[in-house]
Amino acid sequence: MAGQTVIVSGLNPAAILQSTIGGATPAPAAENDHTRKVVPLSRDALQDFMVSIITQKLQDEKQPFYVLDLGEVVSLMDQWNAGLPNIRPFYAVKCNPEPSFLSMLSAMGSNFDCASRAEIEYVLSLGISPDRIVFANPCKPESDIIFAAKVGVNLTTFDSEDEVYKIRKHHPKCELLLRIKPMDDGNARCPMGPKYGALPEEVEPLLRTAQAARLTVSGVSFHIGSGDADSKAYLGAIAAAKGVFETAARFGMSKMTVLDIGGGFTSGHQFTTASAAVRSALEQHFHDEQELTIIAEPGRFFAETAFTLATTIIGKRVRGELREYWINDGLYGSMNCVLYDHATVNATPLACMSNRSNLNCGGSKTFPSTVFGPTCDALDTVLRDYQLPELQSACSSSPVSHKKSKDLLIGFALN
Ligand SMILES: *Cc1c(COP(=O)(O)O)cnc(C)c1O
């Protein structure tokens, strides 16, 4: 591995700079050196690194940029393998399609969940083979199905008869996973149930339709919902999936061999609980299934904590105690997760450039602050009533780093 981090411009994913911590060049690893361990950056190292990017002007003048911590990606994969050792992740590309990130996941054995032709093209362009992709969108335009057939993506999901007819017409070799609706959406911030998943009473007719169309239904998928979903929802969903396996067997269909437990995972202690729930449900319902392949579609699990965004303060207004700042990224850019995903954002100042031993101004007096995005829409407000020390605008080069927080989607960080 060349370096531990990759810096990616927040708004222009093409502008990727590769660098190492503090800009130092690492000693080249010997050919067969497997001893170098990649570890996540500490909070301080991450901040130092961000400051070094800014002070060395490695990034386009004051433009927002992301730091992708590859060490964190390695650590997340370790966490995954420890909690769900026999479940292959198909990373949900929609959560963050950054190419270095996808390549890293691929190198560590992850496969990919694509939701559109564009995502499939993207993954294939990285040299990843089509048999490592599940086209996990239950309702696809015909043109996308034709494309999947052409490039050899042969596994997809469905939850309607209409989809069966489209697939029979354009991609009859494609294997299907019946997406079911978990009865319990786990109180997720972003429930999936209202949009996707067959109801219990729809399972039999859908299997019959697929059978009549001579399509292979190779298994079942579900998604319990994203964002702090209650892991108990996996229990009911896995039990329901087993019921579908049994129904298919009763109908004399070819034996189902794939169980896809979807996404909804959050790294850290929540993953410990969720993975234990999944293991126990699998033990209870699927221990007697021979030749079963279990897959999952984690998205936020890998994308949330691996990225940290740095932005620049471009304007400031003082109203009594209140400090108001404008930054050069917002809800119409990298932080659309606040709008679409009910995410919350944590910010850390990277302002005290003159005092490198106290970059985040720890101990300074703080003020209730508002942080606005750059557009003229008042909705474009990133933080309200947030305590921050006194910061200056860009003329004095004081960026704000948005720290890792588990609530976030897409490349915007937190903690
Ligand atoms: C969004 C999505 C995912 C990823 O969900 P997370 O909760 O981010 O893990 C997985 N599968 C499908 C079909 C999705 O739409």
The model's pLDDT over 193-204, given as tens digits with 9 standing for 90+, comes to 889 999 999 999
Between 243 and 70, name the one with better pLDDT. Answer: 243
Paired tokens of 266: 């959050």
pLDDT (mean) for 184-191: 78
Cβ contact 73:108 at 8 Å: yes
Contacts (Cβ under 8 Å, ≥6 apart) of 373: 326, 327, 329, 330, 331, 332, 333, 335, 380, 381, 382
Report the residue among 88, 90, 110, 226 best suited for mutation to probe ligand 1: largest number of ligand atoms under 8 A from its CB. Answer: 226
Tens-place pLDDT, residues 371-400? 999 999 999 999 999 998 888 765 444 456
> Could you tell me the two tokens for 357?
């031993």
Residues 6+ apart with CB under 8 A from 37: none
Please identify, by atom number, the ligand 1 atom nearest to the C-alpha of residue 409.
8
Query: What residue ranges line ligand 1, CB within 6 angstroms?
Result: 92, 94-95, 113, 136, 223, 226, 262-265, 297-301
Atom of ligand 1 nearest to the CA of 192: 15
To test ligand 1's pocket by mutation, which of 94, 177, 304, 340 has the most ligand atoms within 8 angstroms of CB? 94
Burial class for 173, CB neighbours closer than 10 Å (0-12, 13-18, 19+): exposed
Pocket test residue of 222, 223, 412 for ligand 1, highest count of atoms within 8 A of CB:
223
For residue 318, count CB atoms less than 10 angstroms from its CB and return exposed for 0-12, middle for 13-18, buried for 19 or more.
exposed
Q: How far away, in angstroms, is 335 Cα from ligand 1 center?
A: 18
Please report the pLDDT score of residue 209 as a whole number: 98
Percent of the chain with pLDDT over 70: 81
Q: Give the pairing of strands 155-158 and 175-179.
A: parallel
| Gap from CA of 204 to ligand 1 centroid (Å) | 25
Residue 194 Cα to ligand 1 middle (Å) = 14
**30-44, 176-190, 351-365: which is most confident:** 176-190
The alpha carbon of 131 and the centre of ligand 1 are apart by a number of angstroms equal to: 19
Q: Ligand 1, closest atom to CA 94? A: 1
* Whether pLDDT at 414 is above 80: no
Q: Which of 113, 137, 159 to mutate to test the pocket of ligand 1 (most atoms within 8 A of CB)?
A: 113
Element (H, E) at 242: helix 232-250
Kindly list the catalytic residues: 376
pLDDT band at 76 (very low <50, low <70, confident <90, very high): very high
Closest atom, ligand 1, to C-alpha of 190 = 7
pLDDT of residue 58: 65
69 phi and psi angles, rounded to 5 deg? -95, 100
Confidence of residue 355 (pLDDT cuts 50, 70, 90): low
Q: Which atom of ligand 1 is nearest to the CA of 303?
A: 8
Distance from the CA of 65 to the center of ligand 1, in angstroms? 25
pTM check: above 0.75 = yes
The partner residues of 402 in beta bridges, in order of sequence, read 309, 347
Residue of minimum CA distance from atom 5 in ligand 1:
263
- pLDDT tier at 169, thresholds 50, 70, 90: very high
- Residue 413: its pLDDT value, please? 30
Over range 340-344, report the average pLDDT: 83
Q: What is the DSSP-derived secondary structure letter of residue 116?
A: S
Q: Kindly tell me if the per-residue pLDDT of 157 is higher than 90.
A: yes
Task: State the amino acid at position 389 in one-letter form.
Answer: P
For the chain, the average pLDDT equals 84
- Kindly give the distance from the C-alpha atom of residue 141 to the centroid of ligand 1, in angstroms, as a whole number: 19
By residue count, the chain amounts to 415
Closest ligand 1 atom to the C-alpha of 297? 10
Query: What is the token pair recorded at 297?
Result: 């579609």
229 C-alpha vs ligand 1 centroid, how far in Å?
A: 12
pLDDT 10s digits, 249-263: 999 999 999 999 999
335-364 average pLDDT score = 75
